[in-house]
Chains A and B, each alone.
Chain A
Amino acid sequence: MATLRINGTDREFPEEALPATLLDLLNTLQIDQATVVAEINGAIIERKYFAQTPIQEGQSLELVRFVGGG
C-alpha cells in the first residue's frame, strides 16, 4: 500500500491505484478542483499546475477552500 497524508489523516492507496497527478487525486476523492487550493509538503500548488503535479507516496497534502468567515 502507498500512504498519503491528506489534511492531517493518513490515507492508503493500493500501489497500482495511487493517483498519478494532483488532478487525478482530486477526481478520485471527488473534490471539485475549481474551488480548491493545495499544498504539497508545504509548497503551494497553483490550480493551473494540478494536472502536471505528480503525486508520490509519503507526501503530505493540505487541500483547502474558502468558507464563510468574518
Chain B
Amino acid sequence: MKDILTIAGRSFTSRLFIGTGKYASNRIMAESIRASGSEMVTVALRRVDIENENDDMLCSIDRQTCLLLPNTSGARDAAEAIRLARLARAASGIHWVKLEVTPDPYYLLPDGTETLKAAEQLIADGFVVLPYINADPILAKKLQDIGTATVMPLASPIGSNQGLKTRAAIEIIIEQAVVPVVVDAGLGSPSHAAEAMEMGADAVLVNTAIATAQDPVTMARAFKLAVEAGRMAFNAGQAARQKTASASSPLTGFLRNE
C-alpha cells in the first residue's frame, strides 16, 4: 500500500517540504528541489527592487510537480500576515499559505496569539492555512479546532540547525493531532529529520540545512533518504526500549558448567 500524505485534500508522496531561501543561485535551488523529491516548496514575497530588476525565481520551480506554498515571513502581527497572504494569493492564484508571525528578529519565534487570530481570518477568507508555531500542544489544538490544514511546530529556532530541541512537546502534539504535523525549522542534518519522522511526524520542512550546505544538491538527496528511512521505521513499529540488556545471540552454556 502506498504511504500517501494528504493535506487539505491534496496528496503528497514526498514527506519532505523544501524552503527556497538562501540558495547561491536559482539553478542550485532547482537542482536541490529535484534531488529532494519534494512536492511542496515555500516562497516569500518581497518588494520589487526597481533599480536592480532580478530574474524571476518562480521560473526555476517545476510547478507541475511542486505546489508553491507562499509564506508570510516578515509579518510581525496578524494584520501584516493577512495582508501578505492576500498579496500572495493575488500573485500566484494559490490559496494555500504558510502562516508565520515572528515579531522578534533575534530568535524569530512565532507569536501564538497573533498566529491564531490571523488563522481565523484567513480560514474565513477561504485560505488553506499551514501555521508555523512554537511546539505548544495547546496552541496546536486550538489551531486545528478552528480548521488549519496542518500544524507546523518548530524543532528549534529557524536556521539554527540545532535539531529537535522541542522533542517532548512535539511528541504530545503528534499524539493529539487530528491534522498532519509538519516539523518545521531548526532541523540541521538528515538524522534530525529522520528522528522527527521516527517519532511520527507526518512531514518535515527544511531550508537552511540544505541551502547552505557545501553541496546542497547532495544534501537534498541525503534529507530525502533520511525522511524516507524515518517514515519507514515509524511504520515498521519500533522495538521497545528497556534499561537492561537483552541478548541478541543465544547464551549457550557449553563454555563452562554452572
Residues of A near any B CB (own CB < 8 A)? 6-8, 29-32, 34-37, 39, 44-47, 62-70
Given contacts A63-B48, A70-B22, 20 further A-B contacts (CB under 8 A): A31-B50, A32-B56, A34-B56, A36-B48, A37-B88, A44-B87, A44-B90, A45-B90, A64-B45, A64-B47, A64-B48, A66-B43, A66-B56, A67-B44, A67-B45, A68-B19, A68-B22, A68-B29, A70-B42, A70-B44
B57: chain A residues at CB < 8 Å are 66-68
CB pair B46–A70 under 8 Å, yes or no, is: no
CB pair A31–B48 under 8 Å, yes or no, is: yes
Q: A63-B50, A68-B20, A70-B205 are in contact. Are A39 and B42 (CB under 8 A)?
A: no
CB pair A67–B43 under 8 Å, yes or no, is: yes
Residues of B near any A CB (own CB < 8 A)? 19-23, 29, 42-48, 50, 53, 56-58, 68, 70-71, 73, 86-88, 90-92, 158-159, 185, 205, 207-208
CA distance A39 to B89 in the complex (A): 13
CB pair B73–A70 under 8 Å, yes or no, is: yes
CB pair B56–A35 under 8 Å, yes or no, is: yes
CB pair A65–B46 under 8 Å, yes or no, is: yes
Closest residue of chain A to B205 (Cβ to Cβ) is A70
Which 4 A-B pairs have CB atoms at the shortest separation, nearest pair first? A69-B44, A70-B19, A70-B207, A37-B91
Closest residue of chain B to A65 (Cβ to Cβ) is B48
Most buried by B among A7, A35, A39: A35
CA distance A36 to B91 in the complex (A): 7
B56: chain A residues at CB < 8 Å are 32, 34-35, 65-66
Closest residue of chain B to A9 (Cβ to Cβ) is B50
CB pair B19–A35 under 8 Å, yes or no, is: no
Complex A-B: 18 CB contacts under 8 Å: A6-B50, A7-B48, A32-B56, A44-B87, A45-B90, A46-B90, A63-B47, A64-B45, A64-B87, A66-B45, A66-B57, A66-B68, A66-B92, A68-B29, A69-B43, A69-B71, A70-B71, A70-B207
CA distance A30 to B54 in the complex (A): 11
CA distance A34 to B43 in the complex (A): 17
CA distance A9 to B50 in the complex (A): 10
Q: Contact check: which of A32, A45, A69 meets B73 at CB < 8 Å?
A: A69
